């Protein structure tokens, strides 16, 4: 059951390495069809992809941080991610029914 790390950002990849996160497959783009039940997916996926990952029986861990407005869109280093309190948070995401 592999662990996927989904990021195209060198700082995020370096941050994960620094944390000692064992990654089997590092990809810049995830095709959820490749994910199987029991896999672990780490990244900052759009909500619809996170829901698809969870629907396939994989675990999803979101790379969360408190980003300041000035840093939005900036390429962040591993040090900056540490300073911003980067952490992995588990989520169970599912597509819901529209009400109303």
**DSSP character for 79?**
H
The pLDDT of residue 68: 87
Domain borders along the chain are: 3-91
Distance of alpha carbon 29 from alpha carbon 18, whole angstroms? 22
pTM for this predicted structure = 0.90
The pLDDT of residue 19: 94
What is the mean pLDDT of each successive set of 10 residues along the chain, which is 100 residues long? Answer: 95 95 95 96 96 97 92 92 95 86
The pLDDT of residue 10: 95
The pLDDT of residue 5: 97
């Amino acid at each position: 059951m592999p662990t996927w790390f989904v990021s195209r950002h060198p700082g995020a990849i370096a941050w994960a390495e620094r944390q000692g996160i064992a990654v089997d497959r590092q990809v810049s783009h995830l095709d959820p069809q490749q994910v199987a039940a029991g896999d672990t997916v780490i990244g900052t996926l759009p909500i619809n992809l996170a829901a698809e990952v969870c629907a396939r029986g994989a675990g999803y861990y979101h790379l969360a941080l408190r980003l300041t407005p000035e840093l939005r869109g900036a390429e962040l280093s591993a040090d900056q991610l540490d300073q911003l309190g980067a952490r992995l948070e588990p989520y169970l995401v599912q597509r819901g029914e529209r009400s109303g």
